[in-house]
Amino acid sequence: MTRRRASYRSLDSLKRDQRLCRLCVEAGYQLESWPVIAAGNGQRAFLYGQAPGIVEGGERRPWRGRAGKTLRRWLDLDEDAFYATFYCASVTRCYPGRPASGRGDRTPTTEEQRLCEPWRDHELSLLRPRLIVTVGGLAARRLLGVTSVTESVGARYEHDGAVAIPLPHPSGASSWLNHAENRERVAGAVALIHAELALL
């Protein structure tokens, strides 16, 4: 049976419970991995994506597949710098598997998103990051209430005392990045992120 406390005194104790979370499975949803857990401690910024992919689910570590490589290239950070800078979380933490169409990964249901959200809230209250980067439309919508990727990428938001900067998802599944003006938006967002990282 999953255990999730009303509050946590440290990220280590939170991760001990999070690692064993089966709330969605207990609610009847099929998941294809155990939770993916943020590596290390002491990160200055919070990165919030959609859900792990098959590679991340297998390794139980975030951003290990092709999308992670693209994200690090955008940010011009090598693996060590990336994982030391960002505490990597996501709207849901377990690989959701394939959709019925067999294309891409299944988008977690609204109920799965709701079940997972308290993990994020515990993390944010323990970390108190000054910078949050959302990755992909679902994460921006869920955390910031932002509905348009095009309008949000390159913009700067506030969330509970932190600066929040959205990025699109780097998976390449959408054609959004094929447009030159959108790639310029990404470059603008990355410049904002680096400016904020320099202040941390």
Q: CB of 23: closest distance to ligand SF4 in angstroms?
A: 4
**Separation in Å, CA 106 to CA 39, 72, 159:** 24, 24, 28
Assess contact for 83 and 57: CB atoms under 8 A.
no
Assess contact for 85 and 38: CB atoms under 8 A.
no
Residue 54 or 186: the one with the smaller Cβ distance to ligand SF4 is 54
Residue 112 or 196: the one with the smaller Cβ distance to ligand SF4 is 112
Residue 113 or 152: the one with the smaller Cβ distance to ligand SF4 is 113
Q: CB of 31: closest distance to ligand SF4 in angstroms?
A: 6
Tokens of 65: 């597949």
Residue 15 or 93: the one with the smaller Cβ distance to ligand SF4 is 93
Residue 15 or 185: the one with the smaller Cβ distance to ligand SF4 is 15
User: What is the rounded distance in angstroms from the CA atom of residue 155 to the CA atom of residue 165?
Assistant: 7
Assess contact for 153 and 167: CB atoms under 8 A.
yes
User: What is the rounded distance in angstroms from the CA atom of residue 162 to the CA atom of residue 113?
Assistant: 22
Strand partners, 88: 47
Binding site for ligand SF4 (CB under 6 A): 21-25, 31, 35, 92-94, 112, 115-116
Q: Which strands form 162-167's sheet, in the order they lie side by side?
A: 86-90, 45-49, 131-135, 162-167, 157-159
Residue 138 or 153: the one with the smaller Cβ distance to ligand SF4 is 138
Q: CB of 125: closest distance to ligand SF4 in angstroms?
A: 17
Residue 166, phi then psi, degrees to nearest 5: -80, 140
Residue 84, phi then psi, degrees to nearest 5: -75, -25
